[in-house]
Amino acid sequence: MTPVSTPSQSFSFSIDLPIRSEWANVDLLRTSVQNCFTAVFSDIDGCQALAMVTGELLENAVKYGDWHGQPGGTFRLRVWGEGTRNAGGRNAHVSVESPVAADDPNVAALLGTLEWIATFPTTKDAYRAKLLQIAEAPGDLIESRLGLVRCAYEGNCVLKAEVKDGTLRVTADSTF
């Protein structure tokens, strides 16, 4: 007989999917991640934050991925972690891998944004600074790049990125 699991027991979780590069899939997966986590955890705000981080990273993959060589190409979403069902003690990681061109300026901008975030004492300070930049920019020159800063602050996560063999991997490590 298998012991009955109690709500306070620790467990791990994992989602690992190849995703078609289509805009509709961003919302489908954001909602799916939120629903999966809401079904397991009682921290609704934390589940929504994790879903937001997932959505932002997916949007970047679709928007900036190099899809010229592979029409209808795919990228990879991984969500994994460990925790307990009651409050606190949950670690989650979201990783999105997508093909990129070697000379893509968006990759350099992404890496620069992550370096910029790290120059602030807190992600809240970086978020405020980015909002001020956007507010002060002339209307025709706005390219916000707010998504990554939003992930760091609202998602309470540390963002990392690496490029290897034509693949960009962006990972968000969060505690919720």
Please list the rounded mean pLDDT of every run of 10 residues in the chain (176 residues). Answer: 54 92 95 90 88 96 87 87 70 95 92 96 97 83 81 96 96 90
90-123, pLDDT tens digit by residue?
789 999 999 999 889 999 999 999 999 999 999 9
| Per-residue pLDDT at 37 | 87
Contacts with 129 (C-beta within 8 Å, 6 or more apart), sequence order? 120
| Per-residue pLDDT at 58 | 97
| Per-residue pLDDT at 170 | 98
| Per-residue pLDDT at 43 | 83
Contacts with 44 (C-beta within 8 Å, 6 or more apart), sequence order? 38
DSSP of 95-136 = EEEEE--TT-HHHHHHHHHHHHHHTSSSHHHHHHHHHHHHHH
Chain centroid to CA 33: how far? 11
Fill in the DSSP letter of residue 85.
Answer: S
Domains of the chain as residue ranges with CATH: 13-175 (3.30.565.10)
Report d(CA 66, CA 68) in Å as an integer: 6
| Per-residue pLDDT at 11 | 81
- Pick from 103, 134, 130: nearest CA to 116: 130
- Pick from 129, 130, 128, 66: nearest CA to 100: 66
What pTM value is reported for the model? 0.88
| Per-residue pLDDT at 68 | 83
SS3 call for 93: strand
